[in-house]
């Protein structure tokens, strides 16, 4: 069970993806005390980056190869809000990998006292692999292998 008494945050690989725990801080909230809607995107970005780090894929290495990941499309659906002290799970699942795109499902979840996970924000994410000029670039074989393709 996720609770406010938890002091260490998990960051782990799971089958076809990654999970990361995030604590909601005062700075994450709006005037009403709930997480401001755009902060869910920040949680998802951090989770994608930590997932890549677990796979030994580093943005600094990509930059040296004139490569980067860029969000091409994202479709969001919001549920009930998170509030201060909530411990959230950000789950990232790779659904499909093509020549230069990855398709992810990301969810920000709260585990309730009952053990049930409540989806607070869900996103279908299309990520393009690009060169620094912005054009699509095929995944190199080693990167595709690390991503599980």
Distance between CA atoms of 34 and 30, rounded to whole angstroms?
6
What is the DSSP track for 56-117?
Answer: T--HHHHHHTTEEEEEEEEEEEE-SPPBTT-EEEEEEEEEEE-SSEEEEEEEEEEE-TTS-E
Catalytic choice (30, 65, 85, 142): 30
86 is an active site residue = no
> What positions carry a catalytic annotation?
30
């Amino acid at each position: 069970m996720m609770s406010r008494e938890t002091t260490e945050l998990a960051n782990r690989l799971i089958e076809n993806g990654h999970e990361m725990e995030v604590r909601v801080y005062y700075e994450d909230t709006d005037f009403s005390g709930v997480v401001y809607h755009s902060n869910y995107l920040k949680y998802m970005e951090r989770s994608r980056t930590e997932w890549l780090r677990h796979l030994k894929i580093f943005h600094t290495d990509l930059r040296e190869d004139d490569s980067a990941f860029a969000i091409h499309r994202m479709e969001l659906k919001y549920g009930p809000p998170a509030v201060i002290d909530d411990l959230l799970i950000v789950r990232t699942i790779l659904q499909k990998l093509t020549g230069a795109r990855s398709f992810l499902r990301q969810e920000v979840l709260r585990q309730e006292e009952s053990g049930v996970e409540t989806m607070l924000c869900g996103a279908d994410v299309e990520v393009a692999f690009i060169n620094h000029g912005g054009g699509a670039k095929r995944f190199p074989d080693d990167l595709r292998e690390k991503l599980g393709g």
